[in-house]
A and B are shown apart, each in its own frame.
Chain A
Amino acid sequence: MNKTEEVFNKIADKIIDNKQYLTKLDSAIGDGDHGINMARGFSEVKEEFESAEFDSNSAVVKKVAMTLISNVGGASGPLYGTAFLQASKVMEEDLSLKNAVKIGEAVIEGIKMRGKAEQGDKTMLDAIIPAVNALKEDYEAGVELEEALQDCLEAAEEGKESTIPLVAKKGRASYLGERSKGHQDPGATSSYMIIETIIKEII
């Protein structure tokens, strides 16, 4: 198993372990299936890894994308699927801060294209956009990779928590209007978990 496979295996474990928590968050403001859907998709990813052989990191990420698209069921399938598919297209074999920024931008572009959401709509983008912005600022300032990843993790966590007072503009939560205030967005939470796992595995 190569390093990228190991990272996605850890992400799968994290999501599966947090199935109930994500579903609880989604039950408060949505249709209550986010944890179930994500766990279903990532269980399938783990199974795919058992039999598949990959000749590159981007092939691993592409496999994850296609597996999520085919198995999740809710909006998180096409959203994360598109995000990882876009990431696989720009991913280089050796990790660098420059490439991490490029991957982050491709992820944001993919999610915006699929979900037509913006920052502040109480979605996964509220965790991802600040995280990528932190990477970008550090790259431009010449900060080392490890420190940049720490900053990225902090920004993702703050971004996730920033969704609590927001009124949802997208997805099922938007049907609740003002009543969606006071709840952390499940999509931003799963995005934070994915970012957290990737960064902790790299550092």
Chain B
Amino acid sequence: MVGILIVSHSKEVAQGAKELAAEMMQGDVPLEAVGGTKDGRLGTDSNLIYEALTNLNNADGVIILADMGSSVMNTELAFEFFSEEEQEKFKIVNAPLVEGAINAALQSSFGKDLDEVIAALDPVELAQKKV
């Protein structure tokens, strides 16, 4: 099953996106959310991201939804502590954070593989407001 990692500058945003995603998925999906620094400021911490990736390392690939800037840089930095083979299973996707997390978790819960989940995360499609 494909794992999902949500990375935001804000712990509350990351946790909130995780809760929204968990509500929709059908069955268990490995899901982690990381936000803020270890001393509670807005920002990101590559050590915390590394720990979350380690927790997801048994998944069949990991999709990372990150907000911007240091979220992406610290995630890429955390990748470098894994082998090249492991790194190939980590994919940062260009998708809106909340809608992306919900859709990725749902698709993963259907048993889709990494490429199939990524294909379902078209940023233009996801940005359309559905009611």
**Which chain A residues have a beta carbon within 8 Å of chain B's beta carbons?**
31, 33, 36-37, 40, 69-75, 77-79, 81-82, 114-115, 171-172
B46 interface neighbour in A31, A78, A172, Cβ under 8 Å: A78
- A31 — which chain B residues lie within 8 A by C-beta? 42
Contact of A73 with B44 in the complex, beta carbons under 8 Å: yes
A75 interface neighbour in B41, B42, B45, B69, Cβ under 8 Å: B69
A33 interface neighbour in B43, B76, B77, Cβ under 8 Å: B43
Q: A70-B47, A73-B37 are in contact. Are A33 and B42 (CB under 8 A)?
A: yes
Number of A-B contacts (CB under 8 A): 49
- Find residues 37-90 in chain B having any chain A CB closer than 8 Å to their own CB: 37, 39, 41-47, 68-70, 73-74, 76-77
Chain A contact surface mostly: helix
CB distance from A40 to the nearest CB of B (A): 8
Chain B contact surface mostly: loop
A37 interface neighbour in B43, B68, B77, Cβ under 8 Å: B43
Interface size on B, residues (CB 8 A): 16
Given A74-B69, A77-B70, A78-B74, 8 other A-B residues pairs in contact with their CB atoms under 8 A: A69-B77, A72-B43, A73-B44, A73-B45, A73-B70, A75-B73, A78-B70, A115-B73
Q: Annotate B21-39 by CB proximity to A: 1 below 8 A, 0 otherwise.
A: 0000000000000000101
Contact of B73 with A78 in the complex, beta carbons under 8 Å: yes
> Can you give 16 contacting A-B residue pairs, CB < 8 Å?
A31-B42, A33-B42, A36-B41, A37-B43, A40-B39, A69-B46, A70-B45, A73-B44, A75-B69, A75-B73, A77-B43, A77-B46, A77-B74, A78-B46, A78-B77, A115-B73
- A77 — which chain B residues lie within 8 A by C-beta? 43, 46, 70, 74
Q: CA–CA, A31 to B74, complex, Å? A: 17
- A69 — which chain B residues lie within 8 A by C-beta? 46, 77
- B37 — which chain A residues lie within 8 A by C-beta? 71, 73
